[in-house]
Amino acid sequence: MTTLVPLLGDQLSHSLASLRAIPKDAIILMMEVAAEATYVPHHPQKIALFFSAMRHFADELRAAGWQVDYIRIDDPDSSGDFAGEVARAAIRHKATRIVTVAGGEWRVLDDQQSWGEITGLPVEIRDDDRFLCPIDQFAAWAKGRKRMVMEDFYRLMRRQTGLLMDGDQPVGGQWNYDQENRKSVPKGHKFTPPLRFAPDAITADVIETVAARFGNHFGSLAGFGWAVTRAQALAALDDFIAHRLAGFGDYQDAMVTGEDVLNHSLLSPALNLGLLSPLEVCQAAEAAYVAGTAPLNAVEGFIRQILGWREYVRGLYWFAGPDYTARNHLNATRPLPALFWGAPTDLKCLGTAVDATRRNAMAHHIQRLMILGNFAMLVGTDPGEVHLWYLSVYADAIEWVEAPNVIGMSQFADGGLMATKPYAAGGAYVNRMSNHCKSCKYDVKIRTGPNACPLNSLYWDFLARHEAALSNNQRLWRMYDGWRRFSEEEQVRIRAQAATFLATLA
Ligand code: FAD
Ligand code: DLZ
């Protein structure tokens, strides 16, 4: 009896369900495969992160007494994909059964479901229980609801975990302190930079391989500093809690030219690879509040992102089904503008966000939602293309978390399953939340004319274009009222201005 345990690149947790209740002589199979590195053109830092963290984890498993069969990307005999490697390993080890944990994408789960037929072996696919809300629990909660409001789900999760709870009531008397979390950054404010990790020999080797094989993908490898082990991820967590959590709430929605990180944690890659558990991260933040080193608005805001949003989008991804990424409620068909792949743009906010993405395989939430996502939606980009771009370029992008954020939250392509209204904004929002407009070529205060910020006309044009689909939405009433207050001549001027800009994108 030989048990083969294929373990995927985002399953790097010693508590993984497939490592429990199996014989100690089982063979753990880890596979660096070309198909996974190229099914979208991942940012080279993302590929290097996965490969380096996988190699480090394999070493940790061996040190813990497991037998690990590790297939490297340059293995000349590799078939290049999961199914082929599982089939080869099953023969190599004379396996009699396969035990694995469900992957984080419908595509991968489909593949796992084919392994039985390919190998002729019984395959047990265990639930991924590294989340706080099981998929079935989310489905039971979501079923029959007209709107799946995140805030309702979040309160349920607070009660279920006891995080920031005082008996049955929220600590501090309020569930949500978002109102306190929209401050703009005072001039000259200094942010403490995050802890980064110089590449060790394993990472350096991986970086060399990735540069040679995938160096043509969009993105730079130069600044690689991600945590690639659990020990490093824990150090990054400690550093965030000690130095940046306290300011997390205040400037959560802010954007500053020259500041890539602000007070964000940069923990999503470690969380999504399984190097950290969501509960331990939330507990560390809660402990800082209890110890008096971080205020409630910061701690609640941070915990809500993980206990609320992260669990919610995961539940929604599996609840919505495999065709979710094909949704296109607004029938948007424009190809993704070239600026997303680094073509020059005069819009400072967009150029800054794309450049951060290129250098870091990272952009913070408001850049992803209100700069990049907003622009893609305003110009009518095909949401499928937007989805593939986000899946490619961010170090933390795995479809279960990326797709709902892109298709649902940022593009409104699911017709409101996730968001109650499109996150559409013109230049005024960017000007309020950032200092980008001060050094931008365009004038954010005007709608038309050669110097007008393109976001202004694009915003109104978006609303006008989708009037039939959106104007009944109560939450958009004020915006449509604003549009109708323009004179007919001004409406024509605004739409012509937008059309001129859109023509430059083609
Ligand atoms: P912080 O601001 O420090 O937040 C703490 C943690 O909360 C994050 O590490 C993350 O685990 C969690 N979190 C925060 N917001 C969300 C959210 N909306 N959904 C799920 N988890 C959240 N997150 C990903 O992990 N992978 C993605 O591929 C991804 N794609 C996104 C695409 C779009 C269009 C948008 C709007 C958001 C996306 N997010 C994604 C969510 C969020 O932007 C990132 O989790 C966050 O920017 C990661 O940086 P951080 O660790 O510094 O986050
Ligand atoms: C993202 C990624 C990359 C770049 N490479 C690999 C790989 O070589 N081997 C692997 O096991 N996983 C990789 N991944 C993650 C997968 O594409 C996919 O996101 C997860 O398997 C989903 O659970």
pLDDT value at residue 144:
84
pLDDT value at residue 184:
85
Any atom of ligand 1 within 6 Å of the Cβ of 406: yes
Q: What is the mean pLDDT of the chain?
A: 97
Out of 1.10.287.990, 1.10.579.10, 1.20.1250.20, 2.60.40.10, which CATH number does the structure's domain 338-505 have? 1.10.579.10
| Secondary structure class of 338 (helix, strand, coil) | helix
The residue to which tokens 């952009």 are assigned: 363
The pLDDT > 70 percentage for the chain reads: 100
Indicate which residue's Cα is closest to atom 11 of ligand 1: 268
**Average pLDDT over every residue of 172-199:** 93
Looking at ligand 2, which atom is closest to the CA of residue 39?
Answer: 17
Q: pLDDT by residue (tens digit) across 451-464? A: 999 999 999 999 99
Q: pLDDT by residue (tens digit) across 274-322? A: 999 999 999 999 999 999 999 999 999 999 999 999 999 999 999 999 9
**Average pLDDT over every residue of 54-73:** 98
**Average pLDDT over every residue of 199-214:** 98
Q: Ligand 1 centre from 368 Cα, in Å? A: 9
Indicate which residue's Cα is closest to atom 43 of ligand 1: 365
Q: pLDDT by residue (tens digit) across 325-349? A: 999 999 999 999 999 999 999 999 9
Nearest ligand to the C-alpha of residue 353? 1
Asked if residue 228 has pLDDT above 90, the reply is yes
504 vs 179: which has the higher pLDDT: 504
Per domain, the residue ranges of the chain are 3-126, 135-194+244-319, 338-505
d(CA 22, CA 192) in angstroms, rounded, equals 45
The residue to which tokens 């992160």 are assigned: 49
pLDDT value at residue 504:
96
Q: Are the folds of 3-126 and 338-505 the same?
A: no
Asked if residue 179 has pLDDT above 90, the reply is no
Q: pLDDT by residue (tens digit) across 246-267? A: 999 999 999 999 999 999 999 9
* Domain 135-194+244-319 bears CATH identifier 1.25.40.80: yes
DSSP notation for 408-463: IIIT-TTTTSS-SS-----HHHHHHHBSGGGG-SSBTT-SSSTTB-HHHHHHHHHH
d(CA 408, CA 70) in angstroms, rounded, equals 37
* Domain 3-126 bears CATH identifier 3.40.50.620: yes
Ligand 2 pocket test, candidate residues 5, 7, 8, most atoms within 8 A of CB: 8
Any atom of ligand 1 within 6 Å of the Cβ of 368: yes
Q: Ligand 1 centre from 354 Cα, in Å? A: 16
Predicted TM-score (pTM) of the model is 0.98
Nearest ligand to the C-alpha of residue 52? 2
